[in-house]
Structures are given as C-alpha cells and as structure tokens.
C-alpha cells in the first residue's frame, strides 16, 4: 500500500486535471471520501472535480458546502474526457460506474482505485490503494493522507468522519475495528463536531422518510424457523411520499434487528426492469457469497445486487436461494 500511495502521489501535480468518481447512487462513504479528496488535492494545486454517474442525494448535499462547483456530475462524461487522471473510490469494478464506465476506459489515462471491498476489480490500469479490512473507504483516504504527509483541514476531516459514521452504522457494525476508532479520534482532534455530523446525516429527514418506513415495514415477512426476514418497497411508494431511493437507507436494518433473524433482505423496483436487493446478515452468515450468485457483491454482512426481471419473479428466485443458503 505504501507503493500504491506513492504511485497515486505521482499522478498529482499543480494544474493536473483529476476526476473523482464512485458508484451509482453514491452513499456517505463514497461522497465523503470524494469531498475529502477534493480538499486534499486542491491544496496540492490540482484541478479536481467530482464526476459521479448519478446525482448527489439531497441528504448529502451538505458535504459540498463551500465547494458547490466541485460537484460536476451533471457533466461527468465531458469532465472525464479531459482528465489527466481518474481516481475511483469505494468500488473496484468498472460496471459499478454505470454510464461512465466507457468514458473512464476510453480516456486512456491512469485510473487509481481507493477501496475497501473484496473484489478482484475490473478497472483500467492504475494504482490500487485497497484494504478489505478497512471499515470504510474514508478510513483509507485518511491513511493515504497520513502516509503522504497531506494536511487534513477541518472540512476534509468532517467529510471523512461522515464516511466512517455512515459505513459503520455509527460505529455499531462489526466492521468497526480498533484502527477505525483511532482514525475517528484523530479526525476529532482536527476539529470535527460529532453532533453536527449527526444533525447533517440523520436529523434532516423529509417528512416522507418516516412515512415511507412505515409503509415498507407493513410488508415485513419473517420465517422464524431459518432466521430469514424481508421487506418490500411497494410500487410507487417513493413518489407517493416525495422521497428518493437514498431515503431507504437503514430500512433493512429493522428487519435485521428482529430476534433470531440471521439474514434480512429488502426488495425494490428500479428503472430498466430491474430489482435492487439489499442483503444484511447477523453472525457468521456471509451475504457477499449469496450476492455473488446473482452477480452482486459487497461485504460479508452488507451486500447488494441488481437483478433483471419483474419484482415478484426476482423475489421468488432470491428467496429460494436465501432459504437454501441459510439451511446450508
């Protein structure tokens, strides 16, 4: 990783055009890591922009306070075509870049990767700063900055703390390691206000979010004999409550919190006649293994997959596989 850090540093010079990007429907870790990198790399004189395949969810717009011009996702393809280097955060597979995959591959410049997922990766050639033991990509951005002697500003530290908090469930999930908490402590030393992060991330919900939660939980099904539970987002529910898919964040955790449940699933329809399945587990159940059966992936206790087909058909297929998986 030290070699990878030096290789990433070699890409960055005054005036270098660098595009930062992450997966479709970016989350707090991907966006927090990107925003921190904007602050870090601009301090080195680079021209940096965030170029994601889908827009920043409204609940994370606060991350761009003071640097709104840095989010150029609306013209991402144009930005990628003039980049001197591309840094992909929180994913290692080209397919997760959605419509930007072709532009990233065809540009022909180094594509660096900073990621904490278990994946062989399919990105174009470039440095790989990857560690699956990290709780979040934000943790790795902190370690990269530490390794290279980059100074963390309060704004960068705030963004990294958001990355850590969101990917560890507020330091509740099993991916929280001693190093994670040491990194969090160092970020607090820089000046992060943890209450403000809480208010930014969790206490600014539209009224439609709890109403959506109430409707989704009405679909809860629990199979006590094998420890399986699932919920389904009713068709049209997002539009009905005036919210977006990001407002489903954390809903599946309610199914996982039921006594005896080892595997929890959330099903929702997506565009393009596809169904998104979010998988969460308890104990030694490795949902990444189950997700890979359908071309998805992620972490041992939190994974996801998008499957072509009608909601009822996909649900039936995944539930059969989930039951067999749990029995095995």
State pLDDT tens for residues 84-97.
999 999 999 998 89
User: CB under 8 Å to 203, separation ≥6 — which residues?
Assistant: none
Contact 100, 53 (CB under 8 A): yes
The alpha carbon torsion through 252, 256, 262, 268 (nearest 10 deg) reads: -20
Judge whether residue 229 has pLDDT over 80. Answer: yes
CATH 3.90.1640.10 fits 2-202, yes or no: yes
Rounded to whole angstroms, the Cα distance separating 309 from 244 reads 21
Quick check: pTM over 0.95? no
Rounded to whole angstroms, the Cα distance separating 297 from 63 reads 27
User: CB under 8 Å to 154, separation ≥6 — which residues?
Assistant: 190, 191, 192
The DSSP annotation for 256-290 comes to: HTSTT--EEEEEEEETTTEEEEEEEE-TT--HHHH
User: CB under 8 Å to 127, separation ≥6 — which residues?
Assistant: 4, 7, 8, 11, 110, 112, 113
* R_g of the chain computed on alpha carbons: 19
Burial of 106 (0-12, 13-18, 19+ CB in 10 A): exposed
Tokens 């439609």 belong to residue: 208
Q: Where in the chain is the domain with CATH 3.90.1640.10?
A: 2-202
Q: Where in the chain is the domain with CATH 3.10.310.30?
A: 208-327
How many CB atoms are closer than 10 A to CB 148? 15
Check residue 118 and give its pLDDT: 75
How confident is the model over 32-40, as a mean pLDDT? 98
Total count of residues recorded for the chain: 328
Check residue 227 and give its pLDDT: 97
User: CB under 8 Å to 6, separation ≥6 — which residues?
Assistant: 148
Mean pLDDT of the chain: 95
Rounded to whole angstroms, the Cα distance separating 35 from 156 reads 7
Rounded to whole angstroms, the Cα distance separating 296 from 311 reads 17
User: CB under 8 Å to 271, separation ≥6 — which residues?
Assistant: none
**Percent of the chain beyond pLDDT 70?**
100
Contact 127, 113 (CB under 8 A): yes
Rounded to whole angstroms, the Cα distance separating 115 from 136 reads 8
Considering the four listed CATH numbers 3.30.70.2190, 3.40.640.10, 2.40.50.140, 3.10.310.30, the one that applies to the domain covering 208-327 is 3.10.310.30
Phi, psi of 128 (to 5 degrees): -125, 105
Rounded to whole angstroms, the Cα distance separating 94 from 100 reads 9
How confident is the model over 288-314, as a mean pLDDT? 92
State pLDDT tens for residues 151-202.
999 999 999 999 999 999 999 988 999 999 999 999 999 999 999 999 999 9
Q: Which two tokens stand for residue 90?
A: 């929180």
Rounded to whole angstroms, the Cα distance separating 287 from 28 reads 21
State pLDDT tens for residues 64-121.
999 999 999 999 999 999 999 999 999 999 988 999 999 999 999 999 999 998 777 8
């Amino acid at each position: 990783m030290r070699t990878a850090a030096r290789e990433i540093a070699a890409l960055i010079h005054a005036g270098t055009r660098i595009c930062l990007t992450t997966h479709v429907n970016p989350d707090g870790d991907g966006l927090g890591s990107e925003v921190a990198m904007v602050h870090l790399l601009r301090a080195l004189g680079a021209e940096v922009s965030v170029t994601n395949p889908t827009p920043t969810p409204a609940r994370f717009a606060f991350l761009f306070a003071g640097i709104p011009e840095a989010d150029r996702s609306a013209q991402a393809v144009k930005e990628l075509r003039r980049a001197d280097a591309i840094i992909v955060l929180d994913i290692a597979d080209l397919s997760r870049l959605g419509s930007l995959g072709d532009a990233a591959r065809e540009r022909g410049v180094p594509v660096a990767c900073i990621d904490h997922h278990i994946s062989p990766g399919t990105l174009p050639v470039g440095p790989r700063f990857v560690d699956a033991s990290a709780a979040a990509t934000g943790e790795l951005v902190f370690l990269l900055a530490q390794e290279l002697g980059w100074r963390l500003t309060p704004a960068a530290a705030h963004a990294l703390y958001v990355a850590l908090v969101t990917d560890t469930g507020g330091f509740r999930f099993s991916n929280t390691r001693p190093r994670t908490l040491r990194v969090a402590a160092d970020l607090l030393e820089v000046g992060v206000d943890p209450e403000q992060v809480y208010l930014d991330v969790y206490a600014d919900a539209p009224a439609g979010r709890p109403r959506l939660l109430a409707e989704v939980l009405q679909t809860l099904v629990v199979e006590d004999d094998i420890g399986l539970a699932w919920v389904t987002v009713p068709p049209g529910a997002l539009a009905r409550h005036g919210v977006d898919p990001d407002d489903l964040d954390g809903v599946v955790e309610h199914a996982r919190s039921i006594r005896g449940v080892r595997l929890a699933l959330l099903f929702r329809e997506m565009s393009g006649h596809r169904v998104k399945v979010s998988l969460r587990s308890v104990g030694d159940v490795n949902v990444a293994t189950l997700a890979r059966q359908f071309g998805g992936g992620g972490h041992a206790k939190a994974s996801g997959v998008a499957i072509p087909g009608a909601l009822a058909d996909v649900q039936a297929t995944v539930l059969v596989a989930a039951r067999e998986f749990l029995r095995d």
